[in-house]
Amino acid sequence: MNYHFITIEGNIGAGKTTLAHLLSKHYNARLVLEAFAENPFLPKFYENPAQFAFPLELFFMAERYKQLKELIHTKDLFQSVTISDYLFTKCLLFAKVNLPETEFRLYQSLFDIIHQQLVQPDILIYLHAPVQKLQVNIRKRNRPYEQNIADEYLFNIQETYTNYIRQHNIKTLFIDTSNADFLGNEKHVKAVIDALEKDYENGRHFIALP
């Protein structure tokens, strides 16, 4: 397996963290997880997006930067693979949806300064699920502040992700997770592991789950 830094991305409720845990166990990899629960603005944002979107996104960017910056300074002798359940560019994609234009331009200028200082992943795994499946997963994990997320919001996030991947030449495994069950079906995880054994050129590569 030639990929030492693997990033998993997808919409809210796509199964990023679940897959990250399973792959890290398989590869004995160092695991970097989004510290979403530590963001004090998250519940407030869902109650009042206009007021709390900017501090929400600033907090997320600072925390993600702090986590990923450590990858540059620390090397684990016993774990040659690192798996993260987010891409740093996620900051910019969510900010594009959540912030008004003037705040987004300011946010983007800060992002551009920080982004160039970080290690970029060798490959991106993007989990794509229809909004209906995302809503089922969101209800199932039962975080109170997420229970009233509108379909339109999830659709906007989805479109922003797919446009970004389409427009940038990122080495991406694009996986349709409409019927995925990574916890209950070992074949689904194995399909991802088998895909990671191959070498890919930059661009999107569509992986089907059995």
pLDDT at 138: 95
CA dihedral defined by 82, 88, 94, 96, rounded to 10 degrees? Answer: -160
Which of 67-71, 114-118, 153-157, 199-203 is predicted least confidently?
A: 67-71
pLDDT in tens, 49-90: 999 999 999 999 999 999 998 876 776 655 789 999 999 999
Q: Tell me yes or no: is domain 5-207 CATH 3.40.50.300.
A: yes
Predicted pLDDT of residue 78 = 59
Amino acid at 68: L
Phi, psi angle pair for 16, to nearest 5°: -60, -50
Is 176 an active-site residue?
no
Domain ranges in the chain are 5-207
pLDDT of residue 134: 96
pLDDT tens, 9-45?
999 999 999 999 999 999 999 999 998 888 999 999 9
Average pLDDT over residues 160-189: 95
Give residue 1's pLDDT band: very low, low, confident or very high (50, 70, 90): confident
* End-to-end CA, the chain: 21
Helix, strand, coil in percent for the chain, rounding step 5: 55, 15, 35
Spatial contact of 90 and 13, defined as CB atoms under 8 Å apart: no
Q: Which of 76, 85, 176, 181 is catalytic?
A: 85
pTM recorded for the entire structure: 0.94
